[in-house]
Structure 1
Amino acid sequence: MITRGVLLVDPGAVPRGDWGARARQRALVAALAGGPDVVVVGLGALALGGVHGLPLHYVPEFTSLSGVHLRSSAQARARRLERHAAIDGHPKLVQVGGVTIAGPLWALSQGLPGMDREHAVAVVDSALQVGAISPSALPVLTDLLAGSRGVRSLRRWLTLVDGRAESPLETRARLECHDAGVPPDDLQRVVLDARGRFIGRCDMVWELGGGRLLVIEMDGGHHRRDGQIDIDNARDNSLTRAAHVVYHYGWRHLGTHVIAATVRDELGRAGRAA
């Protein structure tokens, strides 16, 4: 709540491990701080729009529709935005839960500058995956980024985007494999058994020859809840019976080079040069 200009947010209201909820909570700080005519922009707008992969400790930004002077604080930053011509199919403003936010394409153009590669690719992957933007919007986004901080790097990183990634964890693992020279052959591959029955949809796959696949699954926190581990085990058993090779990794394995090393080793065993 706001009392005499003081914003109080209960940090215990959101579980520490729920990164998406914490990102949205930060965005609501901007909505509360700006007053009735506020528009949440940039990363906060993306968070409220359901996009994942944002930096956890970002400062949300807001602007005003009425043009009144806004004051920044340590918790929320007022931002004056340049005016751009409207783009068909990409609304500048949308409403989410009673809060006015920048439309997703515009929010990306506001929030991406200054990001590192891992966050930038994960955020755009997620925007595609949740349907906030379509692949046809990427060239438009590239144009909107003109003149932004780090635009050359951002444009290069946008070539690495793949909306099939279903989590920032998958995006980061894919980037590690790309950097190591062993990018996956496919993402979210539907795998069938010899009778054509569905076995599963696999995060990242590499062809080993003879119809065999190397499958790497990236397991986030949800894999430890709601019986997901039993589902995963049953699928893994079916994949193994079909002669596929399966590995599971999680957040703790990122940065250790173990994922790319596993891929390289398995490709070598299959006689396929990395």
Structure 2
Amino acid sequence: MSDTLNTPAVLSDAQIEQFIDQGFVRIDNAFPKRLATQARARIWQDIDADPKDPATWTEPVVRLWVYWQKPFREAANTPTLHGAFDQLVGKGRWLPREALGTFVVRFPSPNDPGDTGWHVDASFPPPEFQDEPELATDFDQWRVNVRSRGRALLMLFLFSDVGELDAPTRIRAGSHLDVARLLEPHGEEGLAGDMDLTVSDGRPEVLATGPAGTVYLCHPFLVHGAQPHRGTVPRFLAQPELQPAEPFSLDRPDGDYSPVEIAIRKGLNR
């Protein structure tokens, strides 16, 4: 669990209100750039391409899984991030990351990457795979419910500088409120990750840009999407979840709601 004594207050009241209203907050210098440099060097070892030769960048996107080495662990567990987790999720209510993944590396390419649709990241397997989640390999059928079972935050870790042409993640600001209302009638079972997200149509679009070391902390219901890379330098992004240490509650007798819970309740007009 989090260190409840030594984590600093990282986010201002205005940033917490932004998280509740818009569904995300950007933290600059969330981890040192030197860790981003070290991490990219390690990731390149697993990519069938030469970092110095664009002619070898033949795929528009490469996905890589868990990295547990020191630069990744340190990037995920800075005092800045721990402090922000405490403020958004609640002290003692989240679990530290022991590794980072999924990594998505996007390359400049005229080809369609095939994964640019709007979506919400699902967090638990369908009922028939409750006891064997490793067998639920069709991730379109993974679920999301109104209490965000299994996910406290969606996080976007920028491991390279990301400008507007470098395939920044697209964010529909405020869409988490729409998704909360969409999920409520479906109770604990929730909906599959391929749910109809037209409820968020018309929300303003924000691009997750920034220098390496930037982290976007997002509400788990935030609607987001990829886009093609129109720049010149590969983009390195990790998008892990922050796992809860205990289930979210939308009816706390003491009223001690976290900003994540407050945002859900706001979406439900509570």
TM-score between both structures, scaled by the size of structure 2: 0.23
More contact order relative to length (CA 8 Å, sep ≥ 6): 2
**Rg bigger for which structure?**
1
* Bigger share in helix: 1
* Bigger share in strand: 1
